[in-house]
Amino acid sequence: MVQNTRQSLFTSLDLGPMHLKHRVVMAPLTRSRSIQPDSVPGDLMRQYYEQRASDGGFIITEATNISLTSRGWLGAPGLYSDEQVQGWKTIVSAVQAKGGHMFAQLWHTGRASHVAMTGGAIPVSASVNPAYWEHPNHLVSIPGSWAQSSPHRALTVAEIAGIVQDYRRAAERAMDAGFEGVEIHAANGYLIDQFLQDGSNQRTDQYGGPIENRVRLLSEVVTAVASVCGADRVAVRIGPRGTWNGMSDSDPGALFSYVAAHLDHFGLAYLHLIEPRVGGSITTHPEQGAVAAEQLRPLFKGKLIAAGGFEPETAVAAVSSGLLDAVAFGRHFVSNPDLVHRIREGLPLAPADRDTFYTFDAKGYADYPAYQAAVAA
């Protein structure tokens, strides 16, 4: 029977403070549906997350900005105003009412931004890399269009301390909203990743140069956020060997091994990897296995989740073999609100429509039917 072959995904798992009933996790998915201009999560988002909640299941929110100046993507929600906290409260309650659990993913976009999104402030990064904003493919969603990123500048040491405080404050707001924890977004070429990888970090101070220095911002953010929530409510998402969004490193094997081993000392809820066979939201190396998990599993003793190109069968294999504790699905959750049920029952999965990933209304968002409704239609 199909169900029995998928059994390993449907065993319980303790993750930080949560007791999960299964290991099918909803990956963070930017969907651009917060209410503008103040980036407030509203009822449409409540419907979408509630549809995807399952009893004992775990949802990580879409990337959520920690401050006005951290923004870089029109429609992404925030956690820097009271109104945003209220909006999230309603969503978290709806998910919890279905027995679900939720962490907020905290986001600073760094150089992947535009002055139209930051309230006019020049985007910031580890160092100045004109090749980034001159590249025609590094587009951001701004009011009315897609645009190349604005020119950015390097952060001063004093400003870095301020950004760490913004993360801390956003974690406090996440706790106020009822989230059970926070995931720090350190992947996909956003601010923390820009500090980690030396293609974007050419600093010569304590935040640049050797790997220990490039990891400093991530370390400081984890420490600040853990001081608010407790380390077991904090998680980190990294993209080992990730090249999407203009990223590169001279020795990614050494860098990400160091990061995983270093994070092991914090007592985090989990470490979340993105497999490099997926770049952003596109599978670029379908033939590749779960290479990041294989490299880092021996170095991180806590709970390990990975996303990136998993299908139900490969997820079962990764959990059964002990390679992963849980698997996060992105695109399958876009188009299958009842993904957990479909995987458990071996039902077919509906394909996601890329054209509506980042549009601003209900079409292609909260209107994907559950399996029973789809076959009845």
Ligand X SMILES: Cc1cc2nc3c(=O)[nH]c(=O)nc-3n(C[C@H](O)[C@H](O)[C@H](O)COP(=O)(O)O)c2cc1C
Q: Tell me which residues are annotated as active site.
A: 190
Which of 100, 91, 97, 94 lies closest to 22 in space, CA to CA?
Answer: 100
214 φ/ψ sector (left φ>0, alpha ψ -120 to 50, else beta): alpha
Between 227 and 246, how does the x/- string for binding to ligand X read (CB under 6 A)? Answer: ----------x---------
Q: Minimum Å distance from CB 3 to ligand X?
A: 21
Residue choice 9, 10, 25, 30 for contact with ligand X (CB under 6 A):
30
Confirm or reject binding of residue 47 to ligand X (CB under 6 A): no
Residues of 115-152 as b/e, b for ≥16 C-beta within 10 angstroms? ebbbeebebbbbbebeebbeeeebebbbeeeebebbeb
User: DSSP of 295-348, one letter per residue?
Assistant: HHGGG--S-EEEESS--HHHHHHHHHTTS-SEEEESHHHHH-TTHHHHHHHTPP
Confirm or reject binding of residue 29 to ligand X (CB under 6 A): yes
Residue choice 50, 62, 180, 325 for contact with ligand X (CB under 6 A):
62
Q: Which of residues 314-353 bind ligand X (CB under 6 A)?
A: 329-332
Residue choice 28, 72, 189, 312 for contact with ligand X (CB under 6 A):
28
Closest CB to ligand X: residue number: 330
Kindly state the number of chain residues that form the binding site for ligand X, as judged by CB under 6 A: 23
Q: In angstroms, how far is CA 76 from the centroid of its own chain? A: 12
What secondary structure letter does DSSP report for 269?
A: S
What secondary structure letter does DSSP report for 373?
A: H
Q: Minimum Å distance from CB 336 to ligand X?
A: 11
- Return the amino acid letter for 102: M
Residue placing its CB nearer to ligand X in the complex, 123 or 309: 309
Rg of the chain taking only CA atoms, in angstroms: 19
* Helices 157-177, 216-229: inter-axial angle, 10-degree rounding: 30
Residue placing its CB nearer to ligand X in the complex, 226 or 274: 274
Confirm or reject binding of residue 24 to ligand X (CB under 6 A): no
Q: Minimum Å distance from CB 340 to ligand X?
A: 14
Q: Minimum Å distance from CB 186 to ligand X?
A: 9
Q: Minimum Å distance from CB 150 to ligand X?
A: 20
Which of 333, 258, 366 lies closest to 25 in space, CA to CA?
Answer: 333
The partner residues of 60 in beta bridges, in order of sequence, read 103
Residue placing its CB nearer to ligand X in the complex, 8 or 281: 281
Residue choice 317, 357, 360, 370 for contact with ligand X (CB under 6 A):
357
Q: Minimum Å distance from CB 109 to ligand X?
A: 10
Q: Which of residues 158-217 bind ligand X (CB under 6 A)?
A: 185, 187-188
Residue placing its CB nearer to ligand X in the complex, 125 or 188: 188
Residue placing its CB nearer to ligand X in the complex, 154 or 274: 274
Of the candidate spans 26-34, 158-166, 207-215, 337-345, the one that interacts with ligand X by CB under 6 A turns out to be: 26-34
Residue with tokens 């001081």: 227
Q: Which of residues 257-316 bind ligand X (CB under 6 A)?
A: 274, 278, 281, 307-310
What secondary structure letter does DSSP report for 78?
A: B
Q: Which of residues 97-126 bind ligand X (CB under 6 A)?
A: 105
Question: CB under 8 Å to 74, separation ≥6 — which residues?
Answer: 32, 36, 117, 140, 141, 142, 143, 360
Binding site for ligand X (CB under 6 A): 27-30, 62-63, 105, 185, 187-188, 237, 274, 278, 281, 307-310, 329-332, 357
